[in-house]
Amino acid sequence: MNRFNIAIAALAMLWNGAFAGEPGHSEAMLDRLAGHWVLTGKIARKQTTHDISADWTLNHGYLRIHELSREKAPSGEPSYEAIIFIAYDAKTEEYSAFG
């Protein structure tokens, strides 16, 4: 599991508790992730900044998250890029993520 999947899992656990008891709380949590935001912090003791874009796709069935680092590799390409899909299954009350 890469560092982004770990971050999403942690957010899901924290927000799941924040929305507990509310109808549709799982959908509300994912809706709060939708949009454009900036992730900053340290990875391997190096400061980093990543641009995040999250939007609903496939008939509102999956939240697609695109993460792109502002730091560049020697080739000029972003040093990190990921696309992750997150879904919630109301029957099993479980989240799934793949990328």
Determine how many CB atoms are found less than 10 A away from the CB of residue 99: 15
* pTM listed for this prediction: 0.70
What pLDDT, on a 0 to 100 scale, did the predictor assign at position 9?
60
3-state secondary structure the chain: CCHHHHHHHHHHHHHHHHCCCCCCHHHHHHHHHCEEEEEEEEECCEEEEEEEEEEEECCCCEEEEEEEECCECCCCCECCEEEEEEEEECCCCEEEEEC
Predicted confidence pLDDT, tens digits, the chain (99 residues) = 566 655 666 555 555 544 444 445 556 778 888 999 999 999 889 899 999 999 999 888 899 999 999 999 999 999 999 999 998 888 888 888 888
What pLDDT, on a 0 to 100 scale, did the predictor assign at position 84?
93
